[in-house]
């Protein structure tokens, strides 16, 4: 087997023999080097690569056996063929012992030599191939062992993460394990905050605490923000040469090589895990990135589970408290008893020395103190709570410069109230943790609940959230209980009203009949038209009032069903079409794309639109316009969206001085009006949980905005 890569070394102290072998072997295509010195041959073997050595045994200074010995020490797989004209058993045994391939006697037949060389080179190639295979197997075994160690590390990491239920401990464990798996000296785990806008470091290794505690990166900015937004792992061989990040991260990491992988659960990104400074100054490679990404997927699942566990544990605790509190509230009979119960249950969860209740009054745009409870608060000489002192100008909040109270105003309110309350001479010690909590009902602020601890305990976010939940749920539960009681009372009252109204109709009918008889039997009295007209008008008013009372007292009157309110409006338009034609009035509708199917009593709502549209007809001259439009909107005094229907006309409008009274019963500016139409509209809207507003400019027209709960 010949080839350009096969190099032969011929060594013989006889110049003629050395040259002959050089010529013959070169002719067969081998790359041949010749030497007549054994010492020189050994030097060449040390400096160059040879596949086969052909050497004489008996030479001055260095023998062929010496060359064989040196060659085998340098390359155990090298082929050495010995030649000698002085064969002996001892030299043959020594040659075989050292590792000679052939032992040839001079004079050597070239054909025999060619066969020996070819066989020797074949053995050489086989040996090299075997050695390479062994090396490959060793590398494969080493890689396999590394993979097994990595898998074992991931398995142990999974067990370790799975056994940690505390989220803070889990995050630290994840960073430590990830650094071990990737051989990193610096690592951090960042989570996306509840707003979804920022990343904050929640656990770290190898970073300065000052840096870790103050990092707040926008999602999409820097390496971590980029990965959190893209959702794919990232490797950076040299951050100083990466145009995207080199300026941003120059002062943050000393290492040029970085790894970053998202913490992803299904399609949700929880945060990222960063690794830097690979041990030994090495550069991270793709395998390191795959390893971190695999680890990150495990870690994300563990974080999600730990979060869920903490949430479930917290909810269980909250449900238990709320259940006990609701059981307690079901037995209270007053607002003060409700507040006492709330205070008692909250004291079980956190240090509270006193609490203040303030009612938010949106129309007056101020807060009114309505209750106080606890110890270490301003007291009278008798030891009871001095609510009047709380209500005094010293600590009133009616002059707080809030045009309205939003949740973001709560910290400012806390600071304001802390200063005011601490200014009371009987307040024991200033508190650093006076906290104001909003009480939200039906998406609107109803109360502000203020708590404090004289010992200066700073409430945690969890304590504040739990307190807010308890207060809102307790007040809501009490309001519902009170509403149920009121509903029962109203039902009883309605039945009484219905019975009394029916009983009153009979004497009114009798009075009306006697007036008619008097007109016929006493003609001279009938001439006093003013008396009879006034009496009949008052009887009519009483009848209308009784009719309204009877309607209001019938529960079935307000039974509702899901109805597309546009159908009701179109029905009203059909009923009033003759009036429109008579006065050349244009009736149009314009509805935005939103849901119009709501729970209503169709007869009552039909009455609402008939009243408003008839008023518009009366206000219009020849050729006017009535327009009804629909959209999603909200009145200025509400914080939730409503389905808003607007009835507008371009008629005479309402005088400014009359606007405040248009919803008063029996108030009317029409000669033939009863003054009940708009009062009925307002009552029906209130019965549907809605409200209405009016806008009018005299001489330009009127707009009634009807707001229906969605």
Domain limits, the chain: 7-132, 164-311, 351-458, 556-709
Confidence of residue 335 (pLDDT cuts 50, 70, 90): confident
Task: Name the E strands within 513-585.
Answer: 561-564
User: Above 60 in pLDDT, residue 226?
Assistant: yes
Q: Which class does domain 7-132 fall in?
A: alpha beta
Q: Which helix (H) or strand (E) covers residue 222, if one does?
A: helix 222-230
Q: Are 6 and 51 in contact (CB under 8 A)?
A: yes
Q: Are 74 and 9 in contact (CB under 8 A)?
A: no
**Cα four-point dihedral sign 237, 240, 244, 247:** positive
Confidence of residue 39 (pLDDT cuts 50, 70, 90): very high
CATH architecture of the domain with residue range 556-709: 2-Layer Sandwich (3.30)
SS3 76: coil
* Average of per-residue pLDDT across 665-692: 68
288's CB contacts (< 8 A; 6+ apart) are 182, 183, 235, 259, 275, 278
Q: Please give the Cα distance from 210 to 98 (Å, whole number).
A: 69
* Average of per-residue pLDDT across 680-691: 83
Q: Please give the Cα distance from 658 to 507 (Å, whole number).
A: 35
Q: 94, 55, 62: which is closest to 78 by C-alpha?
A: 55
Quick one: tokens of 105? 């006697």
Q: 453, 434, 429: which is closest to 374 by C-alpha?
A: 453
Q: Exposure string (b/e) for 3-25, b if CB count within 10 Å is 16 or more?
A: eeebbbbbbbbeeebbebbbeeb
Q: Please give the Cα distance from 274 to 235 (Å, whole number).
A: 10
User: Above 70 in pLDDT, residue 637?
Assistant: yes
Q: Which of 391-400, 468-477, 529-538, 584-593 has the lowest mean pLDDT?
A: 391-400
User: Above 80 in pLDDT, residue 191?
Assistant: yes
Task: Name the E strands within 379-441.
Answer: 435-441
What is residue 339's predicted lDDT score, i.e. its pLDDT? 78
Confidence of residue 590 (pLDDT cuts 50, 70, 90): very high
The backbone region for 598, taken as left when phi is positive above 0, alpha when psi lies in -120 to 50, beta otherwise, is beta
How many residues are present in the chain?
710
* Average of per-residue pLDDT across 223-242: 83
Q: 314, 344, 317, 320: which is closest to 332 by C-alpha?
A: 344
Residue pLDDT, tens place only, 469-490: 777 777 766 666 555 555 555 5
What is residue 71's predicted lDDT score, i.e. its pLDDT? 92
Instruction: Tally the C-alpha atoms within 13 A of residue 196's C-alpha that lie toward its C-beta.
Output: 3
Q: How far is CA 603 from CA 183, 447, 498, 691, 710, in A?
A: 76, 37, 20, 18, 19
What is residue 139's predicted lDDT score, i.e. its pLDDT? 82
CATH T-level assignment (fold) for domain 164-311: Beta-Lactamase (3.30.450)
Q: Are 74 and 118 in contact (CB under 8 A)?
A: no
Quick one: tokens of 302? 């563990």
Quick one: tokens of 219? 């999602």
The residue whose two tokens read 């939730």 is 640
Q: How far is CA 381 from CA 36, 384, 386, 427, 464, in A?
A: 125, 8, 9, 14, 33
Q: How far is CA 709 from CA 237, 559, 629, 640, 691, in A?
A: 59, 16, 17, 9, 9
Confidence of residue 438 (pLDDT cuts 50, 70, 90): confident
| Torsion angles phi and psi, residue 436, rounded to 5 | -105, 130
Q: Which of 417-426, 510-519, 611-620 has the lowest mean pLDDT?
A: 417-426
| Torsion angles phi and psi, residue 221, rounded to 5 | -110, 145
**Full strand arrangement of the beta sheet holding 366-374:** 366-374, 354-361, 444-452, 435-441
What is residue 363's predicted lDDT score, i.e. its pLDDT? 54
User: Above 90 in pLDDT, residue 611?
Assistant: no
- Helices vs. strands in the chain: H and E counts, helices first: 20, 22
DSSP state of 427: -
Distance of CA 409 to the CA centre of its chain: 23
69: cis peptide before it, omega within 30°? no
Confidence of residue 381 (pLDDT cuts 50, 70, 90): very low
What is residue 55's predicted lDDT score, i.e. its pLDDT? 92
SS3 113: helix
Q: Which helix (H) or strand (E) covers residue 120, if one does?
A: helix 110-162
**30 burial level (CB within 10 Å; 0-12, 13-18, 19+):** buried
Q: Please give the Cα distance from 296 to 289 (Å, whole number).
A: 10
Q: Which residues pair with 324 in a beta bridge?
A: none
Q: Please give the Cα distance from 366 to 404 (Å, whole number).
A: 8
357 vs 414, higher pLDDT: 357
* Average of per-residue pLDDT across 501-525: 68
Q: Which of 422-426, 528-532, 658-662, 663-667 has the lowest mean pLDDT?
A: 422-426
Q: Are 188 and 228 in contact (CB under 8 A)?
A: no
Q: Are 258 and 223 in contact (CB under 8 A)?
A: yes
Q: Please give the Cα distance from 95 to 82 (Å, whole number).
A: 8
| Torsion angles phi and psi, residue 543, rounded to 5 | -60, -45
Quick one: tokens of 327? 């059981």
């Amino acid at each position: 087997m010949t080839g350009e890569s096969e190099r032969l070394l011929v060594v013989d102290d006889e110049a003629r023999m050395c040259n002959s072998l050089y010529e013959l072997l070169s002719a067969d295509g081998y790359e041949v080097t010749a030497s007549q010195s054994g010492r020189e041959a050994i030097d060449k073997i040390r400096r160059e690569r040879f596949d086969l050595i052909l050497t004489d045994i008996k030479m001055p200074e260095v023998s062929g056996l010496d060359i064989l010995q040196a060659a085998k020490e340098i390359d155990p797989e090298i082929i050495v063929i010995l030649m000698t004209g002085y064969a002996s058993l001892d030299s043959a045994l020594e040659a075989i012992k050292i590792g000679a391939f052939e032992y040839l006697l001079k004079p050597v037949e070239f054909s025999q030599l060619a066969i020996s060389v070819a066989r020797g080179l074949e053995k050489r190639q086989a040996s090299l191939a075997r050695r390479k295979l062994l090396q490959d197997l060793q590398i494969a075994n080493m890689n396999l062992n590394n993979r097994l160690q990595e898998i074992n590390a991931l398995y142990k990491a999974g067990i370790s993460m799975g056994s940690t239920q505390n989220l803070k401990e889990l995050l630290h464990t994840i960073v430590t394990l990830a650094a071990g798996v990737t051989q990193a000296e610096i690592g951090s785990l960042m989570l996306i905050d509840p707003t979804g806008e920022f990343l904050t470091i929640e656990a770290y290794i190898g970073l300065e605490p000052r840096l870790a505690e103050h990092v707040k990166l926008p999602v999409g900015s820097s390496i971590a923000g980029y990965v959190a937004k893209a959702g794919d792992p990232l490797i950076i061989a040299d951050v100083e040469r990466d145009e995207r990040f080199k300026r941003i991260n120059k002062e943050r990491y000393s290492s040029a090589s970085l790894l970053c992988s998202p913490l992803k659960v299904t399609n949700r990104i929880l945060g990222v895990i960063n690794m830097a400074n690979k041990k030994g100054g090495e550069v991270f490679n793709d395998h390191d990135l795959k390893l971190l990404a695999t680890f990150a997927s495990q870690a994300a699942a563990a974080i999600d589970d730990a979060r869920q566990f903490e949430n479930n544990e917290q909810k269980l605790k909250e449900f238990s408290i709320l259940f006990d509190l609701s059981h307690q509230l079901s037995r209270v009979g007053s607002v003060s008893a409700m507040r006492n119960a709330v205070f008692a249950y909250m004291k079980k969860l956190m240090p509270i020395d006193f609490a203040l209740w303030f009612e938010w009054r949106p129309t007056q745009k101020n807060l009114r103190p309505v209750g106080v409870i606890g110890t270490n608060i301003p007291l009278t000489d008798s030891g009871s709570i001095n609510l009047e002192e709380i209500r005094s100008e010293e600590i009133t909040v009616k002059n707080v410069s809030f045009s309205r109270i939003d949740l973001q105003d709560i910290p400012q309110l806390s600071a304001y109230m802390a200063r005011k309350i601490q200014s009371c001479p009987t307040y024991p010690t200033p508190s650093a943790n006076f906290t104001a909590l909003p009480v939200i009902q039906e998406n609107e602020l109803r109360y502000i609940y203020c708590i404090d601890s004289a010992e200066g305990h700073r409430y945690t976010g969890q304590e504040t959230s739990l307190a807010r939940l308890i207060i809102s749920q307790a007040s809501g539960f009490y309001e519902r209980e009170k509403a149920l009681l009121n509903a029962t009372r109203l039902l009883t009252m309605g039945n009484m009203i219905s019975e009394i109204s029916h009983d009153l109709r009979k004497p009114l009918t009798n009075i009306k009949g006697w007036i008619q008889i008097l007109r016929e039997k006493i003609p001279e009295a009938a001439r006093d038209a003013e008396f009879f007209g006034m009496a009949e008008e008052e009887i009519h008013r009483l009848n209308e009032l009784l009719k309204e009372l009877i309607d209001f007292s019938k529960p079935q009157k307000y039974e509702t069903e899901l109805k597309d309110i546009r159908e009701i409006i179109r029905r009203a338009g059909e009923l009033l079409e003759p009036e429109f034609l008579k006065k050349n009035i244009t009736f149009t509708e314009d509805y935005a794309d939103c849901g119009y199917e709501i729970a209503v009593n169709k007869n009552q709502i039909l009455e609402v639109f008939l009243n408003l549209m008839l008023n518009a007809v009366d206000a219009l001259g020849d050729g006017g316009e009535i327009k009804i439009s629909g959209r999603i909107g909200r009145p200025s005094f509400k914080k939730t969206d409503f389905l808003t229907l607007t009835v507008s006309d371009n008629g005479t409008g309402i005088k400014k001085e009359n606007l405040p009274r248009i919803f008063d019963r029996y108030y009317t500016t029409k000669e033939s009006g009863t003054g009940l139409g708009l009062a009925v509209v307002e009552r029906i809207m209130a019965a549907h949980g809605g409200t209405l507003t009016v806008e009018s400019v005299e001489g330009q027209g009127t707009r009634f905005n009807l707001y229906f709960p969605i």
